[in-house]
Chains A and B, each alone.
Chain A
Amino acid sequence: MSSFDDREYDQSDTAQGSIISFLSRTGLILLQAVCLLLLSAFPFQIWNLAEVRPAFFLAAAFYWAVFRPRAFPPLAAFLCGLTLDLLYAGPIGLHALTLVVAQGLVRSQRRFLIGQSFVVLWMCFFLVAGGAFFLQWGVHSLFLLETIPPRPLVISAVLTGFVFPPLSWAFYGFSRLFYGPRG
């Protein structure tokens, strides 16, 4: 069993350091969760984008699972997913499941992903987004015992892939803000 996943080079040797680190971690999670939640619930009716809304939280789960696993732990992903589930009108637990599964998968491949160029990472994110939407489609169809038309889902998955670069840039900014210039 490798200790790679949980190794972090924090300055949290002292008690004070660990409190600050804990607070900044929690602050980071809360701040980005609120931002992403607003994006996820924003009335895109105006731009006819409602049907194919990208999965913003998936990008967050992917980015942090690769670059700083402890900044977005599984419990945070679960709670964010659950909030989305309560806000949306689908089965409760659906987004929580997708986020936790996607994050777990990415974490297990972190050793491979962390050394890759951004383009390779981006392609991997496309794969993860496709898988996540397929999982959501399957679980939701089972929930309704009826096949949901898959077309908007495919478009959503592709759109999710395309929002990854700007979002990862934003996460990088978050990361610098909370952890200093080392990002």
Chain B
Amino acid sequence: MPLRRTSKTDIHAVPLKMIGARATPFVLALLALAMVAFHRIGVMPAEQLRIAVTDVVAPVLETTSQPFVTLTESFEGVRTLRALKAENIRLKEENARLAQWYEAALKFQSENQSLRGLLNVKADPALAYVTARVVSDPGGAFVKSLLLPAGMNDDVTKGSAVLSGRGLVGRITEAGKSSSRVLLVTDLNSRIPVVIQNTRTRAILAGRNKELMRLERLPVDSGLVVGSRVVTSGDGGLLPADIPVGTIVSVEQDSVLVRPLSDLSSLSYVQVVNMDADESLISGHINTP
């Protein structure tokens, strides 16, 4: 084991160097704490910094995760092979039932169209969809978010609704050139204006970082029942109206809980809805000519 050299220069140089080495963690910890504080009070360009990072990372993740996705999909294929017969029977029954619904829907659609024509209803703005694969789900235990490899180049804009096959899963909170971040409806910071489908009661659906979400700002005695569907109200003009979000699973004195329709923990593809919202709907200032 070589001993430390004890020349004169070393004796003087070492303590300073040592102090530097000892102080670095403290300085860095303080710096990190200051960053958290600055982020909290909003003096840090957090969004721009994040977009810069995700724009670089998302394409890399898209490429690197491909083999794993293929692998899991083939595993899934083998697993479902065993349940194929039972699934087939179930699907046939479901298909027969859905065929009846399809007939009913066609009838309602034509009826709806002719009634709308009679009443001269202004049509909802046309929606455009962008489908993207989920490349990352960063945030872990704290934040419920997804990373998509589609950004402003693909007409994904901040505030757009994000759907899975079954209903709303979240909203775009950051949109870079080629990547974007989705805040899931279950996140602590998520607030979605909703309406209960059968009673038309308006409320705000708030995430809690848990599996279930809570309805807030409910009117007194709103008479909600378990099993009611919760859909977006379209208030504020940011999200399209009537997108299903979840179903009420418990009604208690002080809290009404809602379960999301889609399984948010295993999303692999999502659709981003672009709504060309009228500016005046969002700002509330309607310019009369």
Contact = CB atoms under 8 A, between A and B. Distances in A.
B257 interface: no
B50 A152 contact: no
How big is chain A's contact interface, by range? 35 or more
A155 B183 CA distance: 22
Contacts of A44: 137
Given A86-B53, A90-B139, A92-B46, A45 B25 contact: no
B35 A46 contact: no
Query: Chain A binding site: helix, strand, loop or mixed by DSSP?
Result: helix
Nearest to B140: A53
Interface of A: 1, 3, 5-7, 9, 37-38, 40-48, 50-53, 73-75, 77-78, 81-83, 85-94, 96-97, 100-101, 103-104, 107, 136, 139-140, 143-144, 146, 148-149, 152-153, 155-156
A43 B146 CA distance: 9
B33 A136 contact: no
B34 interface: yes
A146 B207 CA distance: 12
Interface of B: 1-2, 4, 14-15, 17-18, 21-22, 24-26, 28-29, 31-36, 38-40, 44, 46, 49-50, 52-54, 57, 60-61, 64-65, 68-69, 72, 134-143, 145-147, 173, 181, 183, 188-189, 208-210, 265-268
Given A53-B140, A90-B142, A148-B209, A38 B39 contact: no
B4 A3 contact: yes
Contact of B61 (A9, A42, A88): A42
A7 B40 CA distance: 40
B53 A104 contact: no
Contacts of A51: 140-141, 265
A171 B177 CA distance: 36
21 contacts: A3-B14, A3-B18, A6-B18, A37-B57, A41-B147, A43-B135, A43-B268, A46-B68, A77-B28, A86-B52, A86-B54, A89-B50, A90-B142, A91-B36, A92-B38, A93-B33, A96-B35, A97-B29, A107-B25, A140-B142, A143-B36
